[in-house]
Structure 1
Amino acid sequence: MKNSIISEAQIVKAIKEYEGGRELNDVCRELGIHKSTFYNWRKKYAAWTVRS
């Protein structure tokens, strides 16, 4: 399995920014990822954003 360049903390931060009203295209462009990757992360890390 390939190691990710993007840390889990960055993923959670990106999800919070998106849920806070930032455009999905901007978030994906900044991280250099595809929209589908972001949606997969959102499914996986959704519980993490609730705690903080």
Structure 2
Amino acid sequence: MKVTQFTEAQIVAILKQQDSGQTVAQISREHGISEATFYGWKAKHIGMQVLAFRN
């Protein structure tokens, strides 16, 4: 299996940055990913959100 440097929660948080008005180019540079990676994540994680659970 392929090893990733980002967790699912981090990926969803990165994707949500686009909703706040940042461009894909800005987000990609900030996190060191390609725009193709961003759009691939977006296609895979569409509709997902980070849920915070309290113990």
- Same fold flag (TM > 0.5): yes
Task: Tell me the percent identity.
Answer: 35
Partner of 1:28: 28
Q: Report the residue type matching 2:21 in the other structure.
A: G
Moved over 2 A (4+): none
| TM superposition shift of 1:37 | 0.6
One-letter amino acid of the counterpart of residue 35, structure 1: E
Residue ranges of structure 2 left out of the alignment (5+ in a row):
none
SS at match of 2:46: helix
TM-score, with length taken from structure 1:
0.80
Give the drift of 1:46.
1.0
Structure 2 SS opposite 1:47: coil
In structure 1, the gaps of 5 or more residues are none
For these two proteins, the number of residue pairs brought into alignment is 51
- Quick one: which amino acid aligns to residue 25 of structure 1? A
Q: TM-score, normalised by structure 2?
A: 0.76
Superposition RMSD in Å:
1.7
